[in-house]
Amino acid sequence: MSTPADPRGFYTAGYTLADPAEADRMGRWRALGARSKADHVMALCARAGLRPGSVVEIGCGDGALLAELGARGLAPVLDGCELSPPAAELARARGIPGARRIEAYDGEQVPAADGAYDLAILSHVLEHVPEPAPLLREAARVAPAVLVEVPLEANRSAARPAKRREAARIGHVHFLDRAAVHELAAGAGLRVEAELTDPLPYAHHAFFAASAPARARAAVKAGVRRAAWRLAPRAAERLFTVHHAVLARRV
């Protein structure tokens, strides 16, 4: 897969849509995704016994996840950095309690001192960056605990040409599996302490369905995938895309 020639411009375009209706729809899509991502963050922190006092989200987009985590009381401090300046502006405009600083950055170096935070979050970011390993090491520099979530797209369904084209359209440049996530964590000096996968509920699969038949197909798809995932989660990962989140700490 090729990377966008202008990554900042590529992602800025997604947050500055000219059509108000489309901008509203994408905002609702990001809010829906933020709820499931926040579920995963809260679950993994609980499993690992982590109660962070300060959090930074690297690649925070329009702040949807930070706002959701703030509403759930994850931490008193919820900062963010984002490649797209307009997206960072949208995040600041939310007035998220505990957000001391939300700013644009260069996509490589987080503007924070070593160990400035208790937890760094990279949620659906690593599949977008040309070199995920350095960014993960940077996350481990600014926080002793790092939470990563990615879609596991090294599977039969996601390998179809139409799926690859759609992934490229939204900026995916890596198609990861569970082993690749663990390898990236180890390379950054991190040890995975807790992890989970999620095939996502009906609301995600049906969000872009524009007709009753399309919604019915989405219901069948969501039901079949969840059933397969419950019966054999590792086998399911090889067949279709699930979201995978890990919480890791510095070794």
pLDDT in tens, 56-95: 999 999 999 999 999 999 999 999 999 999 999 999 999 9
Question: What percentage of the chain has pLDDT greater than the value 90?
Answer: 97
Q: How far apart are CA 10 and CA 215, in angstroms?
A: 30
User: Which CATH number applies to 7-199+241-250: 3.40.50.150, 3.30.930.10, 3.40.50.300, 1.10.1060.10?
Assistant: 3.40.50.150
Least Cα distance to 247 among 144, 142, 95, 113 occurs for 144
| Torsion angle of C-alpha atoms 163, 43, 37, 91, degrees rounded to 10 | -160
Do 23 and 51 meet the contact criterion of CB atoms below 8 Å apart?
A: no
Distance of alpha carbon 105 from the chain centroid: 18
* pTM > 0.85: yes
Out of 5-14, 16-25, 131-140, least confident range: 5-14
Q: How far apart are CA 202 and CA 199, in angstroms?
A: 10
Average pLDDT along the chain: 96
Average pLDDT value for residue range 213-235: 97
Which residues share a beta bridge with 229? Answer: none
pLDDT at 2: 56
Domains of the chain, by residue range, sit at 7-199+241-250
pLDDT at 245: 98
pLDDT at 4: 76
Least Cα distance to 118 among 81, 77, 72, 68 occurs for 77
pLDDT at 59: 98
